[in-house]
Amino acid sequence: MGNALKDIEKLESRLWEVADQLRANSKLTSSEYCMPVLGVIFLRHATNRYYAALAQIEADQAAGRMPKRPMEKDDFTKRRALLLPELARFDTLLNQPKNTHLGTKLVEAMNAIEEDFEPLRGQLPRDYDQFDNDLLEDLLRIFDSDVLRTASGDVFGRIYEYFLMKFAIQGAQDNGEFFTPPSLVQTIVNVIEPDHGVVLDPACGSGGMFVQTSHFIEHEGKDTMKAVTFFGQEKTGTTIRLAKMNLAVHGLEGQIVEANTFYDDPHRLPEGKGIWGNCDFVMANPPFNVDMVDAERIKTDRRLPFGLPGTTQGKTTGKKSEGDTKKKKETVSNGNYLWISYFHSYLKPTGRAGFVMSSQASSAGHAEAEVRRKLVETGEVDAMIAIRSNFFYTRTVPCELWFFDKGKSKERRDSVLMLDARNIYRKVTRKIYDFSPEQLKNLTAIVWLYRDQSNRFLSLVKEYLLQVCAEAAAIPAELASFETSLNELRGQLLAFNKTLIASPLPVVGEGQVEGIKAEQLSPFTEALAELAEAETAYQADRETLVKALENFRRLYEASPPTMNLDQHAAREAFNPLAEQTKGLSKQVDLLYKLTARGVQLAQKLTVTINNLPLPEGEGFDRKQAGKRLKQLEEERKQSEEQLKLAAYFYRQVVWLQDRFPEAVICPVPGLCKAVTRADIEAADWSLTPGRYVGVAPPEVDEDFDFEQTMRDIHVELADLNREAVELSAKIQENFEGLGI
């Protein structure tokens, strides 16, 4: 992970912590706080974009690239910015006179923006009057740091999405149903690759599918708004406001309407025809297991080419008059297969769909199984990916990602990729999981192999090998920083030890103070000897590793291998280096712990010999040592992280090559298998990946090192024992002072 990304993550976390602290100290709930805070983020970004576009326009006019005339709205729109009126600019709001009511000014700012920008009309928050003036001022100042004044649209897009996620976790806005976890959205985007045409999300929530689509398109070097047209439907007006702000923060536009997709299909293409059967891509995270959908209203819907799933007789409708029999309303018992059918029907003959669905749906029986059979028989079910529980922020249920591809090649029309990703995850918190960026890439690489795109798989392995080289190149500098602080501290410890040895130890007698005893000095001198021994071993291993990494880079950095056999050779060449980086990381950690123990012992000795006649300036500077030790700890973390990063990207190569050694799709127990229609029919038309891929063999934790663990325990236990003795003595002293 690059430093820039780390900095953004720290910024996100810090902004949320401060903003949420403001909410906690007010009487506002998360739901009350959500929209206004997102509105402030939008306003900060809109101001940044305004000033950036203004600078570009002025530069173009000065260079003669555009005429010198009054600036117009289109001049800013072309540059993904709004022509903000002065009263709506962030700096104007912050520079209001002291007694100005900021809530009123914020409402005026939002009104002014909506007046000039049709897609946001009626969408921006206006409920700022309920906020305390001081809280609003603090909130504005949070988003007015030097970093944020110059932050790019990507940064603000990340911040907006991060706040959406955090509000979802807190349960704001209908228990977080407006927000699909980024890992799931990114997986869908990676598989269907929505880079052109009409993109529809009929349950669009806060618009995350559209935003991730734009990231994908721009990563390919294209302009999102020229490549695609976004269409969205959402039944909740408040959620539509979140989506439109989300798009605006990312410099995007889309046709998002309030509609119940079960009954309504309101969108029209520019030429007037509907979007049914004309979508290039459909992506969604619809609500699961919805019941009570009126079967009578939808039974002839053209979006249900496979017929209605199971229905039930529900409540009695109307009043019963004399002689009438009871008439009950027929409802669809579970709406999952309505959604599934809708998604399929919206696609054009070459379209793709990807969506989140309840794990119950892939093996549901009765009428739902019949719909599923018809779907499979079209040959357009492309892939199924099983996701473990705890990926959602407000629900712990597992789910599956479904993928349709109406343009599948003839060779694949009889097969479906079953991918069980339940054992692939990263822990975000104790209760929330996601995919790491590399896990996302590796899952996508399996889909590439299924599509006979081995070249993309090999390109990813090449990318990882280049990343190994890049991380390896950064190791010497990180180690040098650690070593500089280590040497400073070790020098201070050695100087103190030299002073102790050179100074005579007083003898106990009349009129003299009691000096330090030899047995009190020995733990300190032993600690220094152990530190010196560890450092000697470290220096030898460090030199060996750095030279080996340089040789590896010389072979593979300028000309990374692109052929499978050559990539396997590069993997084998780095294999011993991965072990060495792991070993050196442990040595760095040991050096830090031994140095910390030496500092603690020196500090204890300083207290003991406080009355000794040591030469002036030759005592142990406890304050300075404490500062250096904190610095050493930070540099230890950075050094270990850098060493681990090189091995981390190497392990991604290993993960891919161990499972797909020939760079072609093959069954991997517990992970994936391309199954035929006959296989699916034999399994009662089930589309549950776990039913086909089998069980993965147990894996050994490669990072576990028993000897190092025991060494760590030994060092930490020695420190704990020492602290226990000191604490016991202090307790005894306190008792004696109380006369007990």
For residue 20, the model assigns a pLDDT of 82
Helices 622-659, 454-473: inter-axial angle, 10-degree rounding: 160
Range name among 37-51, 76-90, 243-257, 613-627 with the lowest pLDDT average: 613-627
pLDDT recorded at residue 613: 47
Task: Write down the H helix ranges in 171-310.
Answer: 172-176, 182-192, 208-219, 224-227, 237-249, 295-298
317 pLDDT band (50/70/90 cuts)?
very low
Mean pLDDT on 276-292: 93
Does residue 399 register a pLDDT over 90?
yes
pLDDT at 259: 93
Structure tokens at 508: 């106990």
Contacts of the segment 131-139: beta carbons below 8 A, 24+ positions apart: 131/26, 131/28, 131/36, 131/102, 131/103, 132/26, 133/101, 133/102, 133/103, 135/22, 135/25, 135/26, 136/102, 136/103, 136/106, 137/102, 138/22, 139/19, 139/22, 139/37, 139/40
Predicted pLDDT at 171: 60
Ordered alpha helix ranges (H), 517-563: 518-556
Choose which CATH entry (1.20.1260.30, 2.40.50.660, 3.40.50.720, 1.10.1740.10) describes domain 3-176: 1.20.1260.30
CB atoms within 10 A of CB 255: 16
Residue 315's pLDDT is: 53
Least confident of 17-31, 179-193, 295-309: 17-31
Q: Which two tokens stand for residue 386?
A: 């099983």
Q: Does residue 25 carry a pLDDT above 50? A: yes
pLDDT tens-place string over residues 460-494: 999 999 999 999 999 999 999 999 999 999 998 99
Torsion, Cα of 225, 228, 232, 237 (10° steps): 0
Higher per-residue confidence, 490 vs 324: 490
Q: What is the mean pLDDT of residues 103-127?
A: 89
Q: Which residue has the higher pLDDT, 243 or 543?
A: 543
pLDDT at 619 over 70: no
3-state SS assignment for residue 589: helix
Give me the percent of the chain exceeding a pLDDT of 90. 54
> Which residues in 650-688 are b (16+ Cβ under 10 Å) and which e?
bbbbbbbbebbeebebeebebbbbbbebebbeeeebbbb
pLDDT-wise least confident of 42-51, 241-250, 418-427, 606-615: 606-615
* Model confidence at 587: pLDDT above 90: yes
At residue 212, does pLDDT exceed 60?
Answer: yes
- Asked if residue 135 has pLDDT above 60, the reply is yes
> How crowded is residue 571: how many other Cβ atoms within 10 Å of its Cβ?
21
pLDDT at 33: 82
Residue 16: φ, ψ to 5°: -65, -45
**Is pLDDT at 509 greater than 50 in this prediction?**
no
The three-state secondary structure class of 303 is coil
Residue 369 pLDDT greater than 90, yes or no: yes
H/E stretch holding 494: helix 475-502
CA distance 180 to 201: 12
pLDDT at 616 over 80: no
From 74-83, 207-216, 251-260, 588-597, the region with the lowest mean pLDDT? 74-83
Question: Please, how many CA atoms are within 13 Å of residue 520, restricted to the half-sphere of its CB?
Answer: 14
Point out the least confidently predicted range of 152-166, 288-302, 511-525, 631-645: 511-525
373 pLDDT above the threshold of 50: yes
Q: Which residue has the tokens 């309030």?
A: 258
Residue 392 corresponds to which amino acid?
A: F
Residue 516 pLDDT class (50, 70, 90 cuts): low
Please state which of the ranges 53-67, 372-386, 715-729 shows the lowest mean pLDDT.
715-729
Does residue 559 register a pLDDT over 80?
Answer: yes
**How far, in Å, CA of 298 to CA of 267, rounded?**
18
Q: Which pair of tokens denotes residue 496?
A: 């103190």
Label residue 34 left, alpha or beta by phi (over 0 means left) and psi (-120 to 50 means alpha).
alpha
Higher pLDDT, 546 or 172: 546
State which fold the 182-312+329-452 domain adopts. Rossmann fold (3.40.50)
Is 188's pLDDT higher than 80? yes
Domain boundaries, the chain: 3-176, 182-312+329-452, 453-504+515-664
DSSP 61: H
pLDDT in tens, 411-441: 999 999 999 999 999 887 777 788 999 999 9
Residue 21's pLDDT band (cuts 50, 70, 90): confident
What pLDDT is stored for residue 106 in this prediction? 94
Q: 109-123, 363-377, 438-452, 615-629: which has the minimum mean pLDDT? A: 615-629
Least confident of 98-107, 576-585, 590-599: 98-107
Q: To the nearest 10°, the Cα dihedral for 112, 116, 122, 125?
A: -40
186 pLDDT more than 50: yes
Range of 290-294, 482-486, 597-601, 615-619 with top mean pLDDT: 482-486
Average pLDDT, the chain: 86
pLDDT band at 542 (very low <50, low <70, confident <90, very high): very high
Is 717 within 8 Å of 593 (Cβ atoms)? no
Give the closest residue to 215 by CA, choosing from 205, 226, 204, 224. 224
The arithmetic mean of pLDDT across residues 281-306, rounded, is 92
Instruction: Tokens 């104007």: give the residue.
Output: 92
246-250, 399-403, 604-608, 684-688: least confident range:
604-608
Q: What pTM was computed for the model?
A: 0.82
Checking if the pLDDT of 405 tops 90, the result is yes
Is residue 361 scored above 90 in pLDDT?
Answer: yes
Reported as a pLDDT band with limits 50, 70 and 90, residue 327 is low
